[in-house]
Chain A
């Protein structure tokens, strides 16, 4: 509120400053040549001074005087008729006043409301550091400042690494995990986090480096589900389908029934078990590493928007070409990730129309729907 009062006050002040000259009684203009005449008189005076000081010779001074006098006479002659003419009667300058009164608020508010961000407060860094509250960027900055002066504080790096990961700074996360592991030793959580960061960094690929870390984590804790999962994923990516299937099944068997990663594991098992050539069609391509690299550059809101954009385009593609079971499975899962359960259920039903529940693919869809707790519609059951 105070802001808008100040905006109004500023606008009013400028309007007054601009209107004041218009309020004064108009005075007639001096004739066009009166200035010239003064200037020539000044020049004559200056010439006299120069001559008096001996700066120019008498002869030159005489020549110059003659020239200035000629100009002076010409200006005076030109002035005569102008001086006698009657000053023009001036009409009121009300239009000018109205123009000012309209232009300032119209341009001022019109442009400001399109380019400005009213309501966003100033945020000096010192204030934010004093009261960080929920400001994750400041928490990171504070930790970074601390670590810049205490780079050997492994616990600090250990705290910072997952925060980096969450805010999309994958390279920093890799470096932070690496330091934490070197400084205060490996744990399954640290090694798993490091591997995960490496995997995201390489665009979803479980690299040899990541596999190393995962194996080390499993050596410390043979039942670490994250390490098992990524190792299985690595096998799948390498095309070792049987081994991958076995690894995923082992993970599914040893996981508690309500484990949050179970749907994903089951999904992979289903994919590997049902991988039949040709007729199912390939899933739409994973986001390329370029996309992921772009995602790292964005802040959280932008990334969410990018995911949404990719999901929307997937939905559009499926509308044109519905015979793509991988696509439907992905779409349903994506909607759940984006927390749009209604859309997920809609997508599930759309998919079941294309792949009836009796078929292999339909069962896959239904299984996914059950795992995610989605309502597939009464007529299917």
Chain B
């Protein structure tokens, strides 16, 4: 019964979302406040209903209720509990339910924290959120119902795809969806502004924290996904320009642009229309990402769905939301008042340049991702647009952007002083050039661009530090005063510095790991030695073992440096019994920020086994930098100045507000 109750709760959530889609908008039209306020109650009710439905599905997974088709298809009674739970979203139906859960979660947040928003804006935003909720709930119920039943119930499940039986599945999709769906709030704000025909002063201050939150989650989600692919797939790569990866990378690029243009809008009321457009574009790319992954257009680990009706349904959602949003934009954008003016050389100008480059880069990735699909649909030719295309185009676009990143925070609003900023960045640039020179000298013979990339990374990190040093006045005033000033700086300044420094660190990681890493493929028999990254690996032999739902062959390697044993590595191949599917569990050992990566291949007839050994210098910088960027987002999110003063509250206790603020 509990299963059916969860199913009914989901259907009732749809009914609630329909009410929430219609009545608040009518309320705004009629000037009826009670109908507008209904939006908040409805958002909270939908959230609770979807939480219940999700909890019921999770329960079905935990107790292995194979009368639920979805559980039978994706679970196994012997699976460890954590994978039973993460298995809820390790499949098409469950992951769409997670998507929906996060969507209504954000709607509820807007309902709860938006009490000090103008009533009409809040009602419109929640109504737009409800449109999205309605579309996705219908999609789930009609084409991908996780509550479909099986009578009679099978005795054992088919198990989860072994590649997904990993802690990564527990973390990566929820984070990624927090990012994707977080941008829905920005989208709803943009649509609400277009419906109202005006953007009030609170708009940008509201959009920026949502953008920041979504961007932070998406950054973490992408980084996590990349690390997961790196250690689980056993290919030693961390980014493949796979369409599924691009699907999450495009909203990130557009979201980064949105973050920066929202900044201009908040501070200067400029770029209003552009920000609205970017908000629509970013969420459209999130929807497109969902479409690409979910419709089965792409054959990849991620594309669980192969049912064409689903694809058509998602396509309809895309057309209605993206097409509708852009049409509304075309109709109403002229009603919006354009904002303040600024000189080309100014912080605004730098941010516009950032936006230009980022959107161009997004368009490049979009082209590279969709072109093969379009070509195949039109002519039937199968081509693959691979890393060389993206590295050439995307890399070339990013180069100037990375060069100007440190300039942005150093330029003043409205009218900036370029030569002044350049002078102030001189030290950072000089150290960057020196770093490049040292690397080029030490590593002569490597790729020509590598030292340049490393220098650029160092320059980015130091540029971020320069901003903090200048703002605190270190060196100009006494140390203690400077420290006081540094601590008194708004948190968003630290957020900026952290995010920009993180970018530099990631760049260094990418360049070093790509240019100076080594790959060795050898056939090894027990007792044989292989060298990688200054370490020597000795293959000691294989051992058989059994896990709860798999059996594995594990190879043992002893790692030594200059004859001294420093570590050991276990690397294994698993066979999952339910699906008869093999996976590799790469053996990875970390030395500082670098890693040794050992992956087992086929066994040879003579008793040997093919072993791939990679030396990945500074590879952890790639994800470490992303984590630092994420930390920057969180720090910036905690900046108290993002809150908007509510008329009612501020009138009642202005002293209190001011006192609490300082």
* Residues of A near any B CB (own CB < 8 A): 2-3, 6-7, 10-11, 14, 17-18, 20-30, 32-43, 45-46, 49-50, 53-55, 60, 63, 67, 71, 75, 88, 90-91, 93, 96, 99-100, 103-104, 106-108, 111-112, 115-126, 128, 135-142, 144, 148, 299
In the complex, chain B residues whose CB is within 8 Å of the CB of A121 = 1, 67
B31 with A90: CB separation less than 8 A: yes
A135 with B152: CB separation less than 8 A: yes
B205 with A96: CB separation less than 8 A: no
Q: Taking the complex as formed, is B145 at the interface, i.e. its CB lies under 8 A from any CB of chain A?
A: yes
B155 with A14: CB separation less than 8 A: no
In the complex, chain A residues whose CB is within 8 Å of the CB of B2 = 122
A18 with B119: CB separation less than 8 A: no
A139 with B155: CB separation less than 8 A: yes
In the complex, chain A residues whose CB is within 8 Å of the CB of B646 = 38
A104 with B38: CB separation less than 8 A: no
In the complex, chain B residues whose CB is within 8 Å of the CB of A55 = 471, 485, 488-490
Q: Taking the complex as formed, is B491 at the interface, i.e. its CB lies under 8 A from any CB of chain A?
A: no
| Stretch from B7-15, B282-290, B401-409, B515-523 that touches the partner | B7-15
Taking each of A17, A96, A119, A140, which has the highest tally of chain B beta carbons within 10 Å of its own beta carbon? A96
B38 with A22: CB separation less than 8 A: yes
In the complex, chain A residues whose CB is within 8 Å of the CB of B41 = 17-18, 20-21
- Report the Cα distance A24→B269, complex, angstroms: 37
- Report the Cα distance A377→B117, complex, angstroms: 86
The contact sample of 24 A-B pairs, CB cut-off 8 A, is A14-B15, A21-B41, A35-B117, A35-B201, A38-B647, A55-B488, A60-B413, A75-B201, A88-B31, A91-B30, A93-B32, A93-B34, A93-B35, A100-B19, A104-B15, A107-B18, A108-B11, A112-B8, A115-B7, A115-B141, A116-B4, A116-B8, A120-B67, A123-B66
- Interface residue ranges of B152-166 to A (CB < 8 Å): 152-156
With an 8 Å Cβ cutoff, the count of chain B residues facing the other chain is 81
Q: Taking the complex as formed, is B414 at the interface, i.e. its CB lies under 8 A from any CB of chain A?
A: yes
Closest to B67 in A: A123
In the complex, chain A residues whose CB is within 8 Å of the CB of B490 = 50, 55
- Report the Cα distance A218→B5, complex, angstroms: 58
Q: Taking the complex as formed, is B662 at the interface, i.e. its CB lies under 8 A from any CB of chain A?
A: yes
Closest to A50 in B: B490
In the complex, chain B residues whose CB is within 8 Å of the CB of A41 = 645, 650
In the complex, chain A residues whose CB is within 8 Å of the CB of B3 = 120, 122
B63 with A125: CB separation less than 8 A: yes
- Report the Cα distance A121→B60, complex, angstroms: 12
B661 with A96: CB separation less than 8 A: no
In the complex, chain B residues whose CB is within 8 Å of the CB of A103 = 15, 18-19
In the complex, chain A residues whose CB is within 8 Å of the CB of B151 = 117, 120
- Report the Cα distance A167→B9, complex, angstroms: 35
A49 with B661: CB separation less than 8 A: yes
A18 with B662: CB separation less than 8 A: no
Minimum CB–CB distance from B42 to chain A (whole Å) comes to: 6
A35 with B118: CB separation less than 8 A: yes
B119 with A120: CB separation less than 8 A: no
- Report the Cα distance A268→B391, complex, angstroms: 71
Minimum CB–CB distance from A17 to chain B (whole Å) comes to: 5
Answer whether A6 and B66 are a contact pair too, CB < 8 Å, given A36-B200, A67-B340: no
Q: Taking the complex as formed, is B623 at the interface, i.e. its CB lies under 8 A from any CB of chain A?
A: no
Contact with A along B624-647 (1 / 0, CB 8 A): 000000000000000001001111
Minimum CB–CB distance from B421 to chain A (whole Å) comes to: 15
A10 with B12: CB separation less than 8 A: yes
B42 with A18: CB separation less than 8 A: yes
Taking each of A90, A111, A128, which has the highest tally of chain B beta carbons within 10 Å of its own beta carbon? A111
Indicate which residue in A2, A45, A111, A122 contacts B141 across the interface (CB closer than 8 Å).
Answer: A111
| Chain B interface helix/strand/loop/mixed | helix
Q: Taking the complex as formed, is B33 at the interface, i.e. its CB lies under 8 A from any CB of chain A?
A: yes
- Report the Cα distance A74→B154, complex, angstroms: 70
In the complex, chain B residues whose CB is within 8 Å of the CB of A148 = 577
A124 with B4: CB separation less than 8 A: no
In the complex, chain A residues whose CB is within 8 Å of the CB of B246 = none
B34 with A137: CB separation less than 8 A: no
In the complex, chain B residues whose CB is within 8 Å of the CB of A24 = 34, 37
Minimum CB–CB distance from B147 to chain A (whole Å) comes to: 7
Q: Taking the complex as formed, is B387 at the interface, i.e. its CB lies under 8 A from any CB of chain A?
A: no
- Interface residue ranges of B209-225 to A (CB < 8 Å): none
Q: Taking the complex as formed, is B315 at the interface, i.e. its CB lies under 8 A from any CB of chain A?
A: no
- Report the Cα distance A25→B32, complex, angstroms: 10
Indicate which residue in B12, B38, B412 contacts A60 across the interface (CB closer than 8 Å).
Answer: B412
Closest to A139 in B: B155
Minimum CB–CB distance from A127 to chain B (whole Å) comes to: 8
A71 with B201: CB separation less than 8 A: yes
Minimum CB–CB distance from A145 to chain B (whole Å) comes to: 8
- Report the Cα distance A159→B12, complex, angstroms: 47
Indicate which residue in B117, B149, B647, B658 contacts A120 across the interface (CB closer than 8 Å).
Answer: B149
Q: Taking the complex as formed, is B552 at the interface, i.e. its CB lies under 8 A from any CB of chain A?
A: no
Contact with A along B25-61 (1 / 0, CB 8 A): 0110011111101101110110001000000000010
Indicate which residue in B23, B63, B66, B647 contacts A30 across the interface (CB closer than 8 Å).
Answer: B647
- Report the Cα distance A34→B11, complex, angstroms: 40
Answer whether A26 and B32 are a contact pair too, CB < 8 Å, given A60-B412, A108-B11: yes
Minimum CB–CB distance from A44 to chain B (whole Å) comes to: 11
Contact with A along B249-271 (1 / 0, CB 8 A): 00000000000000000000100
In the complex, chain A residues whose CB is within 8 Å of the CB of B141 = 111, 115
Name the 6 nearest CB pairs between A and B, nearest first: A141-B155, A137-B155, A124-B63, A125-B64, A107-B15, A42-B645
Minimum CB–CB distance from A241 to chain B (whole Å) comes to: 42
- Report the Cα distance A302→B515, complex, angstroms: 58
- Report the Cα distance A25→B34, complex, angstroms: 8
Answer whether A111 and B11 are a contact pair too, CB < 8 Å, given A18-B38, A60-B412, A122-B60: yes
Q: Taking the complex as formed, is B77 at the interface, i.e. its CB lies under 8 A from any CB of chain A?
A: yes
Minimum CB–CB distance from B336 to chain A (whole Å) comes to: 14
Closest to A134 in B: B152
- Report the Cα distance A113→B527, complex, angstroms: 67
- Report the Cα distance A55→B472, complex, angstroms: 9
A14 with B12: CB separation less than 8 A: yes
Minimum CB–CB distance from A116 to chain B (whole Å) comes to: 5
Closest to A125 in B: B64
A7 with B45: CB separation less than 8 A: no
Minimum CB–CB distance from A138 to chain B (whole Å) comes to: 5
In the complex, chain A residues whose CB is within 8 Å of the CB of B8 = 7, 10, 108, 112, 116
B156 with A144: CB separation less than 8 A: yes
Q: Taking the complex as formed, is B431 at the interface, i.e. its CB lies under 8 A from any CB of chain A?
A: no
Indicate which residue in B27, B198, B645 contacts A39 across the interface (CB closer than 8 Å).
Answer: B645
Closest to A132 in B: B155
A14 with B34: CB separation less than 8 A: no
B641 with A115: CB separation less than 8 A: no
Closest to A119 in B: B4
- Starting from the known contacts A120-B67, A144-B156, 11 additional A-B residue pairs (CB-CB under 8 Å) come to A10-B12, A14-B12, A29-B119, A32-B118, A71-B201, A122-B63, A125-B64, A126-B64, A128-B153, A140-B155, A141-B154
A115 with B200: CB separation less than 8 A: no
Answer whether A11 and B37 are a contact pair too, CB < 8 Å, given A104-B19, A112-B7, A125-B77: no
Contact with A along B297-333 (1 / 0, CB 8 A): 0000000000000000000000000000000000000
Contact with A along B138-149 (1 / 0, CB 8 A): 000110010111
